A and B are shown apart, each in its own frame.
Chain A
Amino acid sequence: MRAMTLAAFPRALTIFVTASAVLAPLSLIFYQSFLSAPFFDARKTAGLGAYAFIFADSDFWDASLNSALIATAMVVIAVPLGAMLAFVMERTDLPGKRWIEPLILVPSFVSPMVLAFGYVVSAGPVGFYTVWATEFFGGAPWGIYSLTAIGVIAGLTHVPNVYVYASAALKSLGSDVEEAARVAGASPFRVATTVSLPLITPALLFSAVLVFFLGFELFGLPLVLGDPEGHLVLSTYLYKLTNKLGTPSYHLMAAVAICIVAVTFPLVLLQRYLLQNTRKYATIKGKAGRMRELPLRAWKWVAGALIGAWLFVGVIVPLSGIALRAFVSNWGYGAKLSEVLTLEHFQSVWEEPTLVRAIWNTILIGTIGGAIAVACYTAIGFSTHRRNDGWSRFVDYLVLVPRAVPGLLAGLAFLWVFLFFPPLTPLRTTIFSMWLAYTVVWLAYGMRLISSSLLQVSSELEEAGRSAGASRGRVSRDITLPLLRHGLLASWLLVFMIFEREYSTGVYLLAPGTEVIGAELVSLWQGGAIDVVAALSLINVVLVGIGLALALRFGVRLRD
């Protein structure tokens, strides 16, 4: 319903609203970075002092280096693993593929904050698995607080991001060339590395850039895992600046944000360029549809074991840790499981009105908020659908902008907008502020969902409508939109899960009335209320799980 009225809105208004929502916060950050004090402070002066300060701060350079190292490690780990995984899932006769697929995607739907916390309680120095390993083998050969560990964990949890692009590319590729190689006697591994994967190089390049860029935005993992040994990355350095001078140093934070955007925005543009290239490659692909599965034979065990090991490390270890920690009162060496079991943490969540509100808000923002967000994305989608003018290109680039801004900063900028833009001020302490920030931060993701659905609508029906004399709005409303129904439902479920998972955007917007689980987790973790963090994390995982189950039930493809 909502989508229909929005679709009927004049196109100019849609574009104007989108542009303001995207550009206002960003320009505020830009402006703030050239001041000496908060922009609302009467004592501020303009200048480059903020940049001078951070460039002179050794922490900034450490953090930049760490960010680059972690991002590189993520590419090195996630791209080969994701590509092989896609090959095995798309091309071979591995048994149990149907239930492995949703499991593969789990890490991309669980909040990184929750995952990181899960690793601390599972595999930290006194984590459950560490204690068990020490009891059985006399020691545990891993540590999770080093830079290497953060890179490895981040790499493993980003495998799904590569997997979805690689497998989509493989799907559209005929298998005749592979069969030829197979007939000539190549092993499945050889087929993968010399035939299939080279054919999808553009998709792999694209996902490599994506993962590298996500590495620069990483916040939850380094916040939790980098803390004990003091490893900073750019986003946690930025967060630390909140207090480094004793009072919040917005100008410094803004300057760091601009530095991050200076790295990520070119990457986003590069991605866009690669994506167009991918489509060009599409012309030389083999014929799709005649797919025959490669028999794995003995390789089955190797592939199965690798996937199993990855799932164990990436999904089971952290999630089981959370589940266990939520039900024990204290842990570590010398704590006996049978003596420490308790339901107290859930009780304290239940007794705390703000946390109960956080749970409700999180559900609301995912269901109703998600639906409205999809409606907005659809409206924007229609504003460029089958039009190839300057405005369409403008919107194409516009929706990419928020991707480059880390959620943490986008949230801060939205806080300023809500504080100082009078028409919005009454809404600041309502969940609307959180929703607007979420919707803008995930604009690019949402638009990709919508435009891929729109692409599936063939143009003949729309043209028929136009020839019969219907206006553009009428065609959108009566022809395109009804045809989109399934795509919209799928988008809604995916947006639901993404909104349940989001955490960094809400950190600065958190206020009485706007509580959401993700942001509460960051705040509670900083405050050290670990018991409650565990319980809330588990609740969050369950919410995402419900979304996932529904998505599977309705046959939604869990990827864009």
Chain B
Amino acid sequence: MHARLLAVTFAAITFAAFAQTPPAGYPADYAQTIAAANKEGKVVIYSALDTKAAQPLIKDFQALYPGVKVEYNDMNSTEMYSRFIAEVASGQGSADVMWSSAMDLQIKLVDDGQALTYASPEAAKLPAWAVYRNQAYGTTYEPAVFIYNKRLVAADEVPQDHAAFAKLIATKADKFKGKVTTYDIEKSGVGFMFVVQDTKYFPGMKELEKGFGATSYRVYASTGNMLEKVSSGEHLLGYNVLGSYALVRAKKDPALGVVLPKDYTLVLSRVMFIGKQAKNPNAAKLWTDYILSQRGQTQIGGAVELFSIRSDVDAEYTSASLAKQLGANIRPIPLSPDIIYLDKKRTDFLSEWKATLQAGAAGK
């Protein structure tokens, strides 16, 4: 097994080193991009995905382009944003590639003129909603799911759609008092975005929010905390949890159950763009194209354990496999300025959300 892997890697390295020809179907002048990228020698990536999770991508990219070293920096999405704007303003140069699940912040940066315009040769293979002004690209297809504790929630209780979730916590308020969890939408951009979309697609959202208030739900800034607390039984149900992480943990954690809501499932796509002032723009192009390519997407749907956005990929986690389970009930969040809720628009949404919670807590 190991020997084979080594041989394959070795073959890939020698192939890439001697034949820097563009991948099939790419424009002929792509060879120049590769040459320029080799001259740049590295690509600096800021990403909200853990280094550990991204390791297969980095290794595979390195095998494809051994002349380009990957400097991969993981940090949370807010920090990424603030670091990027501060570094750009200070004129010191920042990331070449920004890759984040905070879709709204990424689109805002693009709208603020921080992204390089680059028509990726892979763009045609993506759904139209995942390409934004030839500057930003959706790279993954990650569902928002429900989670539950298998030891403490009976199989017939498990909610299969949003209405059932709202009904369950309303009718069994005692059992679920303090035991329902979701994102703290004041702290988490992703959680906020999901809820904004929910209000669009789920007519009973107000009732659900009241139910959250009535059961004095618990909130966290990240999926990891919710998974931990539901798995340990401190909480029983989790709402709008990032499915990519939940499904991976559920595979080895006997206490954790995952539901893809049947009425509709929101899908988030990690957004990638190249910095306008990138010091290594050509290497950044190679990385972006690689991530969008069939080869990169196969890694994303396989070893990385996110979901690939391309449908022509044969891997465990793909948009196609989700479509098979959910049919037409998938609601991807599009790359568009509509998803940006900042400043006043955001605080207004938050105060309304809070008012509804309090109304729920007061039993109205």
Distance of A525 Cα from B81 Cα, bound (Å): 20
Within 8 A of B (CB), among A313-354: 329-335, 348, 351-354
**A526-B76 in contact (CB<8A):** yes
The verdict on A527 contacting B222 (CB below 8 Å), with A352-B52, A425-B92 known, is yes
Tell me if B228 is interfacial: C-beta within 8 Å of chain A.
yes
Tell me if B197 is interfacial: C-beta within 8 Å of chain A.
no
**B78-A529 in contact (CB<8A):** no
Q: Please name the residue on chain B nearest to A130 by beta carbon.
A: B234
The verdict on A333 contacting B151 (CB below 8 Å), with A248-B78, A248-B82 known, is yes
Tell me if A126 is interfacial: C-beta within 8 Å of chain B.
yes
Binary contact track B337-353/A, C-beta < 8 Å → 1, others 0: 00011110011001000
**B224-A335 in contact (CB<8A):** no
Distance of A149 Cα from B297 Cα, bound (Å): 48
Stretch at the interface among A184-192, A225-233, A272-280, A396-404: A225-233
**B104-A246 in contact (CB<8A):** yes
Tell me if B174 is interfacial: C-beta within 8 Å of chain A.
no
Stretch at the interface among B26-34, B186-194, B312-320: B186-194
Q: Which residues of A contact B229 (CB under 8 A)?
A: 228
Tell me if A420 is interfacial: C-beta within 8 Å of chain B.
yes
Tell me if B108 is interfacial: C-beta within 8 Å of chain A.
yes
Distance of A282 Cα from B167 Cα, bound (Å): 70
Q: How far is the CB of A219 from chain B (nearest CB, A)?
A: 15
Distance of A126 Cα from B236 Cα, bound (Å): 12
Binary contact track A513-529/B, C-beta < 8 Å → 1, others 0: 00000000001011111
The verdict on A528 contacting B232 (CB below 8 Å), with A40-B86, A244-B186 known, is no
Tell me if B326 is interfacial: C-beta within 8 Å of chain A.
no
**A528-B76 in contact (CB<8A):** no
- From B151, B152, B220, B229, residue with most partner A Cβ within 10 Å: B229
Query: Interface majority SS on A: helix, strand, loop or mixed?
Result: loop
Tell me if B144 is interfacial: C-beta within 8 Å of chain A.
no
Tell me if A41 is interfacial: C-beta within 8 Å of chain B.
yes
Tell me if B225 is interfacial: C-beta within 8 Å of chain A.
yes
The verdict on A528 contacting B347 (CB below 8 Å), with A126-B233, A330-B232, A330-B253 known, is no
The verdict on A334 contacting B255 (CB below 8 Å), with A126-B232, A248-B78 known, is yes
Distance of A308 Cα from B346 Cα, bound (Å): 51
Distance of A147 Cα from B92 Cα, bound (Å): 44
The verdict on A512 contacting B73 (CB below 8 Å), with A246-B192, A351-B52 known, is yes
Tell me if A530 is interfacial: C-beta within 8 Å of chain B.
yes
Q: Which residues of B contact A230 (CB under 8 A)?
A: 184, 219
Within 8 A of A (CB), among B86-129: 86-87, 89-90, 92, 104-105, 108
Tell me if B300 is interfacial: C-beta within 8 Å of chain A.
no
Q: Which residues of B contact A529 (CB under 8 A)?
A: 50, 224
Binary contact track A220-248/B, C-beta < 8 Å → 1, others 0: 00000001111000000000101111111
> How many residues on the A side are at the interface (Cβ–Cβ under 8 A)?
45
Q: How far is the CB of B234 from chain A (nearest CB, A)?
A: 5
Distance of A325 Cα from B232 Cα, bound (Å): 12
Distance of A263 Cα from B85 Cα, bound (Å): 32
Q: Which residues of B contact A245 (CB under 8 A)?
A: 342-343, 346-347
The verdict on A528 contacting B255 (CB below 8 Å), with A245-B342, A332-B234 known, is no
Tell me if B335 is interfacial: C-beta within 8 Å of chain A.
no
Binary contact track A459-486/B, C-beta < 8 Å → 1, others 0: 0000000000000000000000000000
Distance of A331 Cα from B350 Cα, bound (Å): 34
Q: Which residues of A contact B342 (CB under 8 A)?
A: 245-247
Tell me if B279 is interfacial: C-beta within 8 Å of chain A.
no
Tell me if A174 is interfacial: C-beta within 8 Å of chain B.
no
**A335-B255 in contact (CB<8A):** yes
Q: How far is the CB of A144 from chain B (nearest CB, A)?
A: 11
**B220-A124 in contact (CB<8A):** no
Question: When the two chains form the complex, which single residue of A124, A229, A351 contacts B234, counting CB atoms closer than 8 Å?
Answer: A124
Tell me if B69 is interfacial: C-beta within 8 Å of chain A.
no
Supply 5 further A-B pairs (C-beta < 8 A) apart from A125-B234, A334-B152, A334-B233.
Answer: A227-B220, A228-B218, A243-B187, A246-B189, A330-B232
B residues neighboring A (CB under 8 Å): 50-52, 71, 73-76, 78, 81-83, 85-87, 89-90, 92, 104-105, 108, 151-152, 184, 186-189, 192, 216, 218-229, 231-234, 252-253, 255, 340-343, 346-347, 350
Give 28 pairs: A residue, B residue, CB < 8 Å, sorted on A: A38-B86, A38-B89, A40-B85, A40-B86, A125-B234, A126-B232, A228-B220, A228-B229, A240-B187, A242-B82, A243-B187, A245-B347, A246-B189, A247-B342, A330-B231, A330-B232, A330-B255, A331-B232, A334-B152, A334-B255, A352-B52, A353-B51, A419-B86, A419-B87, A419-B90, A526-B222, A528-B228, A529-B224
